[in-house]
Structure 1
């Protein structure tokens, strides 16, 4: 494929722009490829920044994926760092570029333009937001500033309980700082459903992180000893440094100035080949508006994986625009939001839809199951529980997964993420053939178990109760754990008949009232359901048992009276 004399100009590097440039060169040796980046580093691992601040990653060099010399020598790609694109002339196909070192301005022509301008940290217009000691973490220079400040600090306040907020809580605590984390939502990790996020809350509290959930920050002020962060409830906390980890917004100002179409949240509108409303301009990465794979709604998702794929797709589409006879047939399928985070040894992973996102999209025809299997067989030393939530449609199609635990979490979520992308069902999970050895899993892997429980539900072998309706009238709670387990913590008003005694004590149950069954994690309750259904009782299971009950209670979704 030869396209001599064609210049492709890429504004911004990191994941999307850098991958697009490298892919272009692999497909076209004669094209001129130029990358413009206003920062000092064209391609770096921004996901590693919290660990650089926390001294887990010791050397800055480890964060640099590629430098301008490598791009030039290996790929014959020109890279100009510390250069900023300030305007686009779509009529003449030129971009105005300012050299940030000497202030000089040049006009550069393009045959194809790629916008990979990324995103910017949100800095709300609060009183005192620009005071010294308030930081963001988006670039390597940001990390140097924060790292230097942390060395002389004893206290830190992190605003935002998402990925960066959690990772920085661990890393600053690891440096010996007293950490307070403030989150405006009533839960940590807002992409999760609240009951699943409760495991993270417990983990942070166990590691001495002070939490302020459901609390907004109103202002910052300077004190004789540092900074004061003022809450909306009238209280405040004193600190030495503040990290803003509220989230990001698309850096789409250049696109807006050029008159390109953008969405309501500022993301550049693109088609499935990453082409913008201008046929000569493409856009990739954090700056674009993409389609949610499940809900089909438009949103911005700042993740490196989708950005890399978008860069590859845009490269093929650009060369196809130069020569329509060549068809690469690559299109972007949308995003599932597959992501993972670890804090104090606890792994949090998710893919696809949450209940919250489904409700926002107006989708209510779904079901979910909870399970808490070990990450490998219990008889092999070191088994750790995985708290897993699977969401699926009534036809069995998998909609989303959330999982939390200390081992084996990402493997299970990755398997289910691929199943979601392939349009698979819970019946496929039920029949999945996965690796098994005692130290890796069980003959029935957690993925299989999730599929089996959901498939049992869809086949009406297992009807599910709604945890949110636990304390409503109209049903009788039956706890089938042992008496000693029951005494250690129970749901108010629940009858306790151990599973082993159930056949002999059926006369204690009323066939006129629906029974909702609970046990430790759900297995014994399922056995009891099958027994009782065949005796003519109307029964449902509270999925995930007391383990899930405690998660709902810790999230403030239920009143935990005796557990």
Structure 2
């Protein structure tokens, strides 16, 4: 009987355990996680804080007892794996409640340790109320603070996914919100013109935005910025980045790649073939360029879990790479992207051309329609699509999903005009924005 030990019981870890059990009914599977909650939807935590999701327990998919009963998988929460003995094929584990330490043997080890929120070195930070949002317990702490202390204003530091989602949800609660971001524009994975549309939406919704600066010092509720501005805030949400949890892998002398993640091959194996790495802490390759890439999002983690389960049960299904497809709700806007943006294209010195189309999400005469802007980068010689971004009121996600499929299938930008997409007035137009990109590219 094969014994599989998994480190991490959230997205990637819980999924790979379930997937392996589906394909191998006889494997002995043990999962360790240092948190007190498993298999929760981390992406839902800002919406619990904002009161959009009323029952916080609804984002927990299962617990150790249910998982054992349904999947016959042993999950041990509040247990931290301290060390990997690669030669002896054992992990050294500590029970964080009792302090007891023990060893657990494995035939296969799967690392899904996730990442930790980056906390900057800020003078006086201990004098202020500061939170990060990385796990279920973080969510509960923020939620409890807001409900018991009834703060009036907040600063969100960092204009990425979590920062923007928290700004929206805190505003939804009626707080006065200021968003502080180090770079000149927010959402650095987007092109500047798309980011500026999000900034406009933030202003319309009453979120104050200060870019090109950071929190330099705090004195209780007085927050001093690097640009000389002083702000007042009852609390701060720090969301400036995510650091992959690679300490365990580093101690075991597993290779760490240039993105800071654990290097893996197309089957998610590390340089030790009996050890796999998935999720936020794993480094894969870019589907467009082949360069190292790390995407700390839920969808890649679930896909990686499937690949590992397939590989362990005899089906060598290789991963083709990552596109970094993502979508974000910011009040009335939706923004989505896939593949390379303008900055990465320039950094990699790639040949490129761009087609942009602004039009309606569906028939303009239909009452429920919105404006969307679709922007596609492509190689002008091969015509292959390098990346795309879309922003607007509705129908944004489905356009990017089509582009993702086109990239995966190897279609050219010119092929987009030929796609026979769904049309009815509530949903699209006879010439969908996707088709219009193809027509414009051929003309160009």
Q: TM-score, normalised by structure 2?
A: 0.97
Residue aligning to 2:322: 335
Structure 1 residue 132, shift from structure 2 partner:
4.5
Q: 1:131 to 1:272 in 2, by over 3 A?
A: farther
Residue aligning to 2:312: 318
Q: In the aligned structure 1, how far is the partner of 2:85 from the partner of 2:124?
A: 38
Structure 1 residue 409, shift from structure 2 partner:
0.8
Q: Which runs of 4+ in 1 moved over 4 A?
A: none
C-alpha contact 1:297 1:361 (8 A) present in aligned 2: no
Residue aligning to 2:274: 280
Please give the residue correspondences for 1:253-292 in structure 2 after superposition, counting only pairs within 5 Å: 253-292=247-286
C-alpha contact 1:250 1:300 (8 A) present in aligned 2: no
Q: In the aligned structure 2, how far is the partner of 1:196 from the partner of 1:243?
A: 24
Structure 1 residue 39, shift from structure 2 partner:
0.7
| Match for residue 173 of structure 2 among 167, 175, 180 | 175
Residue aligning to 1:418: 405
Residue aligning to 2:101: 105
C-alpha contact 1:157 1:179 (8 A) present in aligned 2: yes
Residue aligning to 1:306: 300
Residue aligning to 2:29: 33
C-alpha contact 1:396 1:455 (8 A) present in aligned 2: no
2:115 corresponds to 1:119:
yes
Structure 1 residue 130, shift from structure 2 partner:
3.9
Structure 1 residue 216, shift from structure 2 partner:
2.3
Please give the residue correspondences for 1:146-161 in structure 2 after superposition, counting only pairs within 5 Å: 146-151=142-147, 152-161=150-159
Q: In the aligned structure 1, how far is the partner of 2:32 from the partner of 2:333?
A: 39
Q: Which runs of 5+ in 2 are unaligned?
A: none
Q: In the aligned structure 2, how far is the partner of 1:128 from the partner of 1:415?
A: 48
Please give the residue correspondences for 1:150-549 in structure 2 after superposition, counting only pairs within 5 Å: 150-151=146-147, 152-222=150-220, 227-320=221-314, 328-363=315-350, 365-394=351-380, 395-457=382-444
| Secondary structure at 2:318 match in 1 | coil
C-alpha contact 1:155 1:240 (8 A) present in aligned 2: yes
C-alpha contact 2:161 2:328 (8 A) present in aligned 1: yes
The root-mean-square deviation of aligned C-alpha atoms, in Å, is 1.2
Q: In the aligned structure 2, how far is the partner of 1:361 from the partner of 1:298?
A: 12
Count of residues paired in the alignment: 441
C-alpha contact 1:150 1:172 (8 A) present in aligned 2: no
Q: 1:94 to 1:132 in 2, by over 3 A?
A: farther
Q: In the aligned structure 1, how far is the partner of 2:348 from the partner of 2:143?
A: 40
C-alpha contact 2:190 2:389 (8 A) present in aligned 1: yes
Q: In the aligned structure 2, how far is the partner of 1:252 from the partner of 1:245?
A: 20
| Match for residue 80 of structure 1 among 53, 72, 76 | 76
Q: In the aligned structure 2, how far is the partner of 1:362 from the partner of 1:20?
A: 37
Q: In the aligned structure 2, how far is the partner of 1:294 from the partner of 1:455?
A: 22
Q: In the aligned structure 1, how far is the partner of 2:397 from the partner of 2:413?
A: 19
Residue aligning to 1:93: 89
C-alpha contact 2:258 2:292 (8 A) present in aligned 1: no
2:6 corresponds to 1:10:
yes
Deviations 1:157-206, CA, capped at 9 Å, x for gaps:
00011111111111001111100001111111110010111110110000
C-alpha contact 2:128 2:219 (8 A) present in aligned 1: no
Q: Which runs of 5+ in 1 are unaligned?
A: 321-327, 458-563
Structure 1 residue 131, shift from structure 2 partner:
4.0
Structure 1 residue 9, shift from structure 2 partner:
0.1
Q: TM-score, normalised by structure 1?
A: 0.77
Q: In the aligned structure 1, how far is the partner of 2:66 from the partner of 2:421?
A: 40
Deviations 1:496-520, CA, capped at 9 Å, x for gaps:
xxxxxxxxxxxxxxxxxxxxxxxxx
Please give the residue correspondences for 1:56-67 in structure 2 after superposition, counting only pairs within 5 Å: 56-67=52-63
Structure 1 residue 228, shift from structure 2 partner:
2.3
| Secondary structure at 1:337 match in 2 | coil
Residue aligning to 1:144: 140
Structure 1 residue 45, shift from structure 2 partner:
0.2
C-alpha contact 2:185 2:211 (8 A) present in aligned 1: yes
Q: In the aligned structure 1, how far is the partner of 2:238 from the partner of 2:259?
A: 20
| Secondary structure at 1:150 match in 2 | helix
Q: In the aligned structure 2, how far is the partner of 1:294 from the partner of 1:228?
A: 46
